[in-house]
Amino acid sequence: MASATILKSSFLPKRSEWAAASRSMTSLQPAAVCLTVRAGSYADELVKTAKTVASPGRGILAMDESNATCGKRLASIGLENTEANRQAYRTLLVSAPGLGQYISGAILFEETLYQSTIDGKKMVDVLVSQNIVPGIKVDKGLVPLAGSNDESWCQGLDGLASRCAAYYQQGARFAKWRTVVSIPNGPSALADNGLVPIVEPEILLDGEHSIDKTFEVALKVWAEVFFYLAENNVLFEGILLKPSMVTPGAESKEKATAEQVANYTLKLLHRRIPPAVPGIMFLSGGQSEVEATQNLNAMNQRKNPWHVSFSYARALQNTCLKTWAGRPENVKAAQDTLLIRAQANSLAQLGKYTGEDESAESKKGMYVKNYSY
């Protein structure tokens, strides 16, 4: 692939330079590191896609639950986990009229990427017609990490390049890889093809720890993430991030206000995330629909160098799913509910959310201990 040196950095020296510096503190000098970014013929497209997804007042609809997890969602409303039922629900989501006004990208599971709606239109085409960029979940899920304290690692590197090339041909333009960090159990140190990568090391809510402990772990995790992104010559202008917000553990006696969550989270971003990254698309991580919106709104009460937005799954879909209940006559009401949540988060991205007229259902917490999907 073509190679172009487009990023020069002094904030990420090689580890060998760190070691050398520690051996000779008296002669410590800043080291300039030249990073060669190889994005080939896709470089311009990657930057354009990332900017489109990170456009004002819009965010990501995460609808990439595996078939097994989608089955759990369907079971909660009394439906069997069949392809037809999954297709019906996904059709409801992608075809909600006017969704593209608030949603810039949709992360899909592999089945959905190749699936058609119940009236025979390709899911991908329906999204594109709404000015929504189709994306794809490319990891193959979590498995236990041998020799660790019940931590997990993520499968899917084998065959990744060929799968990504096929996903691009099918219409996907960004990809998400998710792994998780457990604060009570860790963290442990073990552990392109034209698609904009969404980097998602999720720090789980599980635990009784304080917000300060979450912040401490997040600092460590994101330092590692960006060290290795730089080591692998990643084009920062052509990626998106999907981090957890900095909150206390879900079982902590401490409760944080939206302003506290915003303060801690933005402090983390300013210490770890280069301003070249166009978009920070937060996951909700089991917060209630309203909490996720309030916290996002608080972060956008100030000026940030990045597009600070959302990539929510349950925090967009929970009330929608329950409103639908698997009944065709409820599709419009469910879509209206989805649009209400999408609009609320659009306003939060602009720092204009007021929290008026929220339903009781939208205020219910959605934390699930040891959650996986």
Nearest to 77 by CA among 263, 285, 330, 277: 330
Q: Which of 242, 289, 291, 358 is catalytic?
A: 242
Q: What is the C-alpha to C-alpha distance for residues 181 and 298, in angstroms, rounded to an integer?
A: 25
Residue 50, class by beta-carbon neighbours within 10 Å (0-12 exposed, 13-18 middle, 19+ buried)?
Answer: buried
Q: Distance between alpha carbon 129 and the CA centroid of its chain, in Å?
A: 23
| Cβ-based neighbours of 245, under 8 Å, separated by 6 or more | 261, 265, 282, 285, 287, 295
Q: What angle do CA 22, 27, 29 make, to 5 degrees?
A: 85
Q: What is the C-alpha to C-alpha distance for residues 316 and 334, in angstroms, rounded to an integer?
A: 11
Nearest to 57 by CA among 287, 348, 252: 348
Q: Distance between alpha carbon 281 and the CA centroid of its chain, in Å?
A: 5
Q: Which helix (H) or strand (E) segment is 52 a member of?
A: helix 43-53
- Would you call 80 a catalytic residue per the annotation? no
Q: Which of 151, 200, 289, 291 is catalytic?
A: 200
Q: What is the C-alpha to C-alpha distance for residues 92 and 117, in angstroms, rounded to an integer?
A: 9
DSSP letters spanning 76-104: TTT----HHHHHHHHHHHHT-TTGGGTEE
- Would you call 369 a catalytic residue per the annotation? no
Please, are residues 149 and 188 in contact by the beta-carbon 8 Å criterion?
yes
Catalytic residue positions, numbered: 200, 242
